[in-house]
């Protein structure tokens, strides 16, 4: 059987990026535990056609291919930097080009980064309702990280690491056959 596909999308243009590092960390742990094939993209990968496109057909091939990967994934990790208490406008524009049915019932890990802790609830108040519109299965644990959780653009704090482990464990509800712990119990 083919390995399930995990796609990460980091809504940042910065390189290096804390958001990308966070999405990558979640993807690595999930891949190790469930045997996903995984790929991660940021808004740089999506490229400049995004800002000019009102409709998906106006995107260039590279951007279209990334949206295709997002909508055909078996599980998605979404990461957004916090801009003015919410996700960045261009990240929302990327999501706006996805049809409502395309993310329906998809398991989605929601993550975000911010400079400090003031907007830690943006994952609950902004990202979760956005994917609620799509009727996706956002996993119960949302992961927010601030500057102090990173060293040299790598996840370095124990509380953040624990939270990532929590949400990676929650994916077992969707991928029981791929989970060696559950498979061993059968
Ligand atoms: C335009 C802009 C607005 C921002 N607004 C907020 C904010 O409202 N709250 C916050 O905690 N951090 C805010 N930040 C800080 C970023 O969210 C933070 O540095 C984030 O981790 C950057 O992610 P990246 O390294 O992936 O680009 C803002 C940064 C920018 C550039």
81 CB within 6 A, ligand 1: yes
Q: Is 31 helix (H, G, I), strand (E, B) or coil?
A: helix
Residue 14 CB–ligand 1 contact under 6 Å: yes
Compute the distance between CA of residue 113 and CA of residue 80 in angstroms, rounded to an integer: 6
Q: CB of 35 within 8 A of CB of 74?
A: no
Answer yes or no: is pLDDT of 180 > 70.
no
Distance 82 CA to ligand 1 centre (A): 5
User: What residue numbers bound the domain in which 121 lies?
Assistant: 5-185
- Give how many domains the chain has, as a whole number: 1
Q: Hey, which of 17, 44, 83, 88 would you mutate to test ligand 1's pocket, going by the most ligand atoms within 8 Å of its Cβ?
A: 83
Q: Look at residue 31 in the predicted model and tell me its pLDDT.
A: 97
Classify residue 73 by burial, with Cβ atoms within 10 Å: 0-12, 13-18, 19+.
Answer: buried
User: What confidence score (pLDDT) does residue 41 get?
Assistant: 98
Q: What is the C-alpha to C-alpha distance for residues 134 and 128, in angstroms, rounded to an integer?
A: 10
Q: 11-55: per-residue pLDDT in tens?
A: 999 999 999 999 999 999 999 999 999 999 999 999 999 999 999
16 lines ligand 1 (CB under 6 A): no
Q: Label residue 69 by pLDDT band (50, 70, 90).
A: very high
pTM for this structure? 0.96
Q: Report, as an integer, the average pLDDT of 134-162.
A: 98
Q: For residue 39, what is the domain's CATH number? A: 3.40.50.360
Nearest to 72 by CA among 44, 92, 99, 33: 99
User: Quick one: pLDDT at residue 15?
Assistant: 98
């Amino acid at each position: 059987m083919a390995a399930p596909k995990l796609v990460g999308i980091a809504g940042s243009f910065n390189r290096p990026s804390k958001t990308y590092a966070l999405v990558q960390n979640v993807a690595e742990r999930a891949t190790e535990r469930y045997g996903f094939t995984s790929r991660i993209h940021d808004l740089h990968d999506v490229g400049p056609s995004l800002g000019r496109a009102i409709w998906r057909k106006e995107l260039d091939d590279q951007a279209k291919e990334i949206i295709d990967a997002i909508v055909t994934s078996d599980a998605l990790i979404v990461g957004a930097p916090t801009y003015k208490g919410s996700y960045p406008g261009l990240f929302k524009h990327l999501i706006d080009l996805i049809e409502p049915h395309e993310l329906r019932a998809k398991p989605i890990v929601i993550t975000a980064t911010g400079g400090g802790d003031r907007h830690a609830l943006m994952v609950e108040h902004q990202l979760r309702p956005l994917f609620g519109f799509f009727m996706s299965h956002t996993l119960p644990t949302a992961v927010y990280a601030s500057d102090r959780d990173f060293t040299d653009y790598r996840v370095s704090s124990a509380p953040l690491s624990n939270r990532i482990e929590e949400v990676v464990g929650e994916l077992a509800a969707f991928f029981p056959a791929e989970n060696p712990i559950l498979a061993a119990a059968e």
